[in-house]
Amino acid sequence: MYRIRFHGRGGQGMKTASRILGSAFFLQGYEVQDAPRYGAERRGAPIFAFVRADKAPINERGIIVKPDLIIVADDTLVPVPAAGVMGGADEHTILLINSHTDVAEWQGRLNYPGPIVVLPAPEEVTDRAEMPFVGALCAGAAAALCHVINRDSLQQAIEQELGHLGSEILKKNRQRALHAFDLIRETRTEVVEGIVADATAWHAPEWIELPFDDARTAAPVIHAADNTDALKTGSWRTMRPVIDYQRCNKCWWVCSTFCPDGAIAVEEGTPVIDYDHCKGCLVCVAQCPPHAIEAVAEHTAAAEEKKS
Amino acid sequence: MTRRLMTGNAAAAWGARLAEVDYIPAFPITPQTEIIESLSEWIDREEMPGRMVTLESEHSMITAAGSAAATGVRVFSATSSQGLLYAMEMLYTVSGWRAPFVLANVSRGLASPITLEPDHNDILAARDSGFLQIHCATCQEVLDSTLIAYKLAEDPRVRLPVIVNLDGFYLSFTREPVTLPEQEKVRDFLPPFDAENMMFRASSPESQAVAVLGGGPYSYFRYETHLAAQNALAVYDEIADEFEQHFGRRHDALESYRCEDAEYLFVMMGSFATKAKEAVDRLRDAGWAIGLVRPRLLRPLPREALQRVLCNRSAVAVVDQNLSMGMGGVLHSEVTSVLYGQPNAPLLASFIGGLGGRDIPSEEFFQIATVLRDAVKQGSAPPPRLLYTGNELREVRNLQAIAKVERTELERDRGEKDDE
Amino acid sequence: MSESTIFKNLKNMPSTHLLGTGTPMCAGCGGLEALHEVYDILGEKTVFVNAAGCMTLLSVYPFTPFRGGWLYTAMASAPAGAQGVRDALDILKARGTISDDEDMQVVVLTGDGSAYGMGLSATSGAMERDLDFIYLCYDNEGYGNTGQQFSGATPHGAKTATSTGSHGYPGYKKPLFDIWAAHRPAYVATVIGAEPLDLARKIEKARTMKGPRMIIALSPCPTGWSYDPKETAHIGQLAVKSGVWPLKEFIDGKVVHTRVPSKRVPVEEYLKLQGRYKHLFEPQRNEKLIAEIQARVDAYWESVE
């Protein structure tokens, strides 16, 4: 059985990617399961989706713990623990990253046990009315790595899944997906179907008797205050607001008040952005009267940060 | 200590008054209304402190009850039937808050069709809600159970809301002699509610009833509620002892009536069980070795006590005043599960009776005993039976004729019209 | 009353914020923008009683952005939850169990799905009982938490997940302000996070009053309205300038407009920034529908001027 996991951000089209790949497998005569995983995720927040495909009917369900292929639509997710991108990967698991950085760099950066394939990422769009939609692109790349899917099935699957969006969008996405398909086929990397669970040798679960805790402990009550700052929502960001303090006119309230997340505090008359929590909505960029805040692509900003 | 005639509804109201409740969110519904009317009158006459507020629905009523308990005051509320169902979302919700309070439910059959008469499908719909359930058979029990319920709900080992159930009409509107305990003694039995570390105060942050992510934490919180409900069995026994010491009356989790040497047993809940008690006495007079078992606690279910009392009997008849469509009597299912795999388990027979207040006369209990005896002779349990007579069906047929439900009549009428 | 406010001008606005960062609201959430502005003014001694909606996810075990209280109830009955908390605090104060210092402002926090629909009966009941509470509806004009299906708050013509046709939502936004005002509560106001001074003055006013104080915050929603999240404040400002979202209050039996746009920007300016109205402009302009939306806004302002 093929077990494939897509990681991306809310709005990037991971559900669609899983559906395109699922349909492509189905067109090739496979039994298929595809599903997104919803939670308390929001646009920009890490989400994932998965596909199972097999020649026999599929009884497994739910989250894929041990994937054969991991597709990362957004490379800024790789170091985010909450995204769990590399969870369950072993020597046979291919990691496909949609990235501006090359394979050698990723191999150096990650202690990753299996093969890494990089799909060159498109530039961030400046108008983000829609998140950069990379669903079709990722599905195309994934299909290429599963050698059992041919180009025609991929095309047909894209038509089935995206046809309702109109011919313009369909055309653009089909082009991107096929381009990715051809590019990745050239790498000659192939997904190897994982082994099924072995009922003759396994690790027994460490079951316990759940101890009784009285309601002071066991009620869903938080006695802490104001502790969400432990959640680094800065990882949602694809674009980063950067303040040019030369141009900042120290109005001290505009960016700070309009920031939905309260991630800009004014310290001694100077606004300071909390990048651990700034989600990159860029309301501050749009609202700053002297245009003292600039939007910079996160991967560029992060690279510059590293240099300095 | 005074003894006076009062209805089950009045007994429930007196239970709340003696428990010195702080807060009563209310909403009227037949046949519960007298409870909130009594409390309202006492508060208006300043005979009892406490604050009553009438909400716009039972759903809101239970929300307000849970919220006030979660803020640290003692809360009482009451409902019935459709009202309990309308509140159902919040029953499950507030038990998860671990907000302890007492809700009196006056059992009434559920729509459809509409009825005002009692049966237990309303309260059994709340079986898995996390509310504990005490089922009463007399007006005295209603009062006593309300006091017991507060002590049980507020115990740190439990901390769950409790429903005290009484049957509409048969208890709610029926007067019986009830002994009123003295306020001082009740105060001694039931100290003020201590919310411990769960309440809203400006000085201490508190986010209650929050969402969780993932099955791990969810399972933990849900199972802890289950463990707390199970704890309630042992805690209940302690409280029953204490209650007896204070007031001289004993209310066990499981009532066993004339069971010592009984070969046959009836199992029933609620006020109709006293009819079975009466039948037991008559059957005993006629030489039968028969008794009655009545679970007062349905949640938590006293499993072991049931196993002890039911095993080593020849046959047991569970008479359910409820109906799970497509399965049968709910209590029968519960007893079956309790007895599964037990050595010397009795033959088990299922009877459905008393739906929508339909009477169960003595003869039917006698006949049930006979069915049990025949089953033992044949060595197999009889099929489930609805207690229903030919006369009753004939009456329904008459009603149907008046309602012109029969197709032939409809067609004949149509024919006549065409002729005109 | 507005004369005595401490928020005379923007220099009085708070520059550090009480509401914690790190919440799972979408980037650019207009509701969160309003909430954090509101919280700065209400202060820590606030218990939020929440109805099912996007903001239910503000407190997910074991994290909370709040410094005071929070209680999640259900979609239909948050005002009843506020009733229980308010009454319990009053009982405890009257009995001397807690001091006045321990008292808290009780605030219902709810989305439009609950406020305009399922929760309306409970809200009406709370006003009828003259409950001493603040009610804050973050109105993003649809069931946002489930993917923006239309609600009773959805404006005419808007595309939602359940009104995808070429004319968008066929119904009209329910006049919740008027429905509330008809109950004669102590205070009713519309606000928007993009007009923080107006919001601050109204919340400050509400904070110091007693009885039901009802607030609707129009909450531009990049996810549900389909626009670049950086436009949240801009779209909010256009909602006011175009007259689509009148900033007003009901107090002492009278409706007062707190911001009358001297020359209203055409509604088109507001609509065209949002993907949910894209079908009004592409593939060809739907002049009739644009004109109808404009006419309804004009008619509103004519009726109040």
B413 pLDDT band (50/70/90 cuts)?
A: low
DSSP designation for B313:
-
Give the pLDDT confidence score for residue A41 in this predicted structure: 53
Question: Chains contacting B with at least 3 CB pairs below 8 Å?
Answer: A, C
Q: What is the pLDDT of residue A236?
A: 84
Flag if A221 and B157 touch (Cβ within 8 Å). no
The pLDDT value recorded for residue A129 is 47
What pLDDT, on a 0 to 100 scale, did the predictor assign at position C2? 41
The per-residue pLDDT for A123 is 63
Are B55 and C125 within 8 A, CB to CB?
yes
The whole-angstrom distance between residue C42's C-alpha and the CA centroid of its chain comes to: 15
CA gap B342, B363 in Å, rounded: 32
Neighbours of chain A (3+ CB pairs under 8 A): B, C
Cβ pair B53:C83 closer than 8 A: yes
Ranges assigned E (strand) in B55-109: 76-79, 102-107
Best probe of the B interface among C18, C48, C67, C92, by most B CBs < 10 A, is C92
Q: Which residues of C touch A236 (CB under 8 A)?
A: 27
Q: Give the integer Cα–Cα distance in Å for B258 and C199.
A: 73
Asked if the Cβ–Cβ distance from A210 to B221 is below 8 Å, we say no
Instruction: Please state, in angstroms and rounded to a whole number, the distance separating the CA atoms of residues B338 and B332.
Output: 10
From chain C residues 34-63, the ones with a CB under 8 A of any chain B CB are: 44-45, 47, 49, 56-57, 59-61
Q: Using CA atoms, how far apart are residues C59 and C67, in angstroms rounded to an integer?
A: 11
Tell whether A231 is within 8 A of chain C (Cβ): yes
Q: Does residue C132 contact residue C210 with C-beta atoms inside 8 Å? A: yes
SS3 (DSSP) at B307: helix
Q: 3-state DSSP call for residue B202?
A: coil
| Mean of pLDDT values over B168-194 | 97
* Residue whose pair of structure tokens reads 């039994």 in the numeric block: A31
Interface-testing mutation among B67, B103, B219, with chain C (most C C-beta atoms within 10 A): B67
What confidence tens digit (pLDDT) does each residue in A193-223 have? 987 788 999 999 999 999 999 999 999 999 9
Q: Which residues of A touch B (CB under 8 A)?
A: 39-40, 210, 212-216, 218-226
pLDDT score, position A237: 87
pLDDT at B88 over 60: yes
pLDDT for position B407: 62
Encode pLDDT of C281-303 as tens digits. 998 999 999 999 999 999 999 99
**Both structure tokens of B232:** 């309630």
Q: Is the pLDDT of residue A301 over 90?
A: no
CA distance B143 to B139: 7
- Can you say whether the dihedral through the CA atoms of C245, C249, C255, C259 is positive or negative? negative
Mean pLDDT of B76-89: 98
Mean pLDDT score, A173-190:
92
> pLDDT tens for residues B5-34?
999 999 999 999 999 999 999 999 999 999
CB contact under 8 A, B224 and A40: no
pLDDT above 50 (res A77): yes
Q: Which of C83, C91, C102 sits opposite B201 (nearest CB)?
A: C102
Residue in B328, B406, B416, B317 with CA at minimum distance from that of residue B367: B317
d(C-alpha C294, C-alpha B117), whole Å: 58
ipTM exceeding 0.90, yes/no? yes
Which residue from C28, C65, C194 is facing A226, i.e. has the nearest CB?
C65
Lowest mean pLDDT among A124-128, A236-240, B315-319: A124-128
Query: For A260, which of C28, C61, C227 is closest by C-beta distance?
Result: C28
Nearest to B224 among A40, A218, A221 (CB): A218
Give the start-end residues of each E strand in B17-75. 23-26, 51-54
User: DSSP character for B253?
Assistant: S
Helix (H) or strand (E) holding B65, with range, is helix B58-69
**Alpha carbon distance B306, B303 (integer Å):** 5
- C-alpha torsion sign, points A271, A252, C29, C127: positive
- The closest alpha carbon to B54, from B83, B97, B88, B74, belongs to B83
Cα–Cα distance between B329 and B307 in angstroms, integer?
A: 19
* Per-residue model confidence as pLDDT tens digits over B387-402: 999 999 999 999 999 9
Task: From chain A, pick out residues whose CB is under 8 angstroms from the CB of C229.
Answer: 43, 128, 281-283
Q: Across the interface, do B196 and A216 touch by the CB < 8 Å criterion?
A: yes
pLDDT(A122) > 90: no
The answer on pLDDT for A306 being more than 80 is no
User: With 90 as the cut, is the pLDDT of residue A100 above it?
Assistant: no
Tokens encoding C269:
């300016």
Distance from CA of C55 to the nearest CA of B (A): 11
Please check the confidence at residue A126 and state whether its pLDDT lies above 70.
no
Contacts of B55 in chain C (CB under 8 A): 80, 83, 122, 125
Question: What mean pLDDT do residues B346-362 have?
Answer: 97
8 A C-beta contact, residue C83 and residue C128 = no
Q: pLDDT in tens for each of the 305 residues of chain C?
A: 344 567 877 778 887 799 999 999 999 999 999 999 999 999 999 999 999 999 999 999 999 999 999 999 999 999 999 999 999 999 999 999 999 999 999 999 999 999 999 999 999 999 999 999 999 999 999 999 988 999 999 999 999 999 999 999 999 999 999 999 999 999 999 999 999 999 999 999 999 999 999 999 999 999 999 999 999 999 999 999 999 999 999 999 999 999 999 899 999 999 999 999 999 999 899 999 999 999 999 999 999 97
Taking the Cβ of residue C203 and every Cβ of chain B, the question of whether any pair is shorter than 8 Å is answered with: no
Nearest CA in chain C to A241: C230
Nearest CB to B207; choose among A210, A214, A221 = A221
Q: What is the pLDDT of residues A25-50, one digit of tens each?
A: 999 999 999 999 866 557 777 888 99
Contact B67 C122 (CB under 8 A): no
Residue labelled with tokens 């009819």: B275
- Tens digit of pLDDT for each residue in B133-155? 999 999 999 999 999 999 999 99
Calculate the dihedral angle through the C-alpha atoms of C115, C116, C117, C118, rounding to the nearest 10 degrees.
10
Exposure of B242 in the CB half-sphere (CA atoms within 13 A): 19
Per-residue pLDDT, C5: 64
| Residue-wise pLDDT tens digits, B240-288 | 999 999 999 999 999 999 999 999 999 999 999 999 999 999 999 999 9
Residue C3 is predicted with a pLDDT of 44
Contact check, Cβ <8 Å, A218/B228: yes
pLDDT at C68: 96
